[in-house]
Structure 1
């Protein structure tokens, strides 16, 4: 998970070596979400490495580093987001082993691009919410059981608190209705 996270909505990276195709998909998403384009695999990996990205729309066949290779690299790096293949390549049995989250065959119209972003945003939001609840429950229990001095001295607690803060910000950014987060605080966790 990227370290920087603000209050801006879902962040999408469109990756296609055909500039006009990448720009067309980005145009369909402008004003709908935060969108950035990459015109090749190396550029895509650099963007994901250096800025927070939630959803990658990825073409499969590109010169240099192919979309399949980008996908494998993202998986190897533990990319915390969703990947949608958007390609003219008809899927074959090889997709069984590929770690993508959805597969769209080109051409894809504006409504379908936006629908897949909505769907993947919700999935990522709930995955993040689950991680946040798990981390926050641990943090809350430790806060109730350990003195503030002991928490300050414990490196693991500091890491946990930072992780909880990042996950909460990301969850609030991704969820369209973040009231569920407020319900977490209503559960009594002391006296366990």
Structure 2
């Protein structure tokens, strides 16, 4: 799912570790490094696709960097990459994934690819709903004869068909991931538990 334009910001206060992550990823992505939270907030912009964020840093912690990014509504995915074992405080945090150090190159790439895939799915889904809403509107306001003779309407139908195929492909890719499969099983199990509780 990585493209030539996929960019990753590594936010890690241990320079050797940050540089190691960068060396593992630079063949796949456009990589930037920030060695502290303040530098990260200065360098992050709309061009960043994924942020790998350490939680425990001197000065501005990763938790505060995360909060600030979300408050600024920057359109990026964030994975915490930290030595801090997850606790119940993560429930209220706005990250997209969480890795506990040490992490391998394969783990880093798997998380980044998963986050990029989820972003692509979100964009495809938004466009699909937008063009589908236009079709529904035109279906209700124009006669069948008017729709059949409209080139714009034909292009709209073609776009919907293309988006539907892309969504199916992306959904299939997501379903192939172990984490997604586990999430679906967890949701299904939770639903079954709630159904039994309601009875």
TM-score normalised by L of structure 1: 0.66
Is contact 2:128–2:164 with CA below 8 Å preserved after alignment?
no
Q: Does 1:26 align with 2:22?
A: yes
CA–CA distance in structure 2, aligned partners of residues 32 and 132 of structure 1? 27
Asked whether 1:47 is paired with 2:15, we answer no
Higher relative contact order (CA 8 A, sep 6+): 1
Is 1:94 matched with 2:89?
Answer: yes
The answer to whether the aligner puts 1:70 opposite 2:65 as a matched pair is yes
The correspondence of residues 1-192 of structure 1 with structure 2, limited to 5 A, is 8-49=4-45, 51-135=46-130, 183-184=162-163
| Cα displacement string for residues 42-62 of structure 1 (whole angstroms, at most 9, x for unaligned residues) | 11112213x511110000011
Give the structure-2-normalised TM-score.
Answer: 0.64
Question: What runs of 5+ residues in structure 2 fail to find an aligned partner?
Answer: 142-158, 166-199
Kindly provide the CA deviation profile for residues 140-169 of structure 1, in whole angstroms up to 9, marking residues without a partner as x.
899xx9xxxxxxxxxxxxxxxxxxxxxxxx
Which runs of 5 or more structure 1 residues have no equivalent in the other structure?
1-6, 146-179, 187-192
Larger radius of gyration: 2
Query: The residue matched to 1:35 in structure 2 has which SS?
Result: strand
What SS is found at the alignment partner of 2:79?
strand
Match of 1:43, SS state, is helix
Over the residues paired in the alignment, what is the CA RMSD in angstroms? Answer: 2.7
Instruction: Determine if contact 2:132/2:160 at 8 Å carries over to the other structure.
Output: no
Deviation at 1:184, TM superposition (A): 4.0
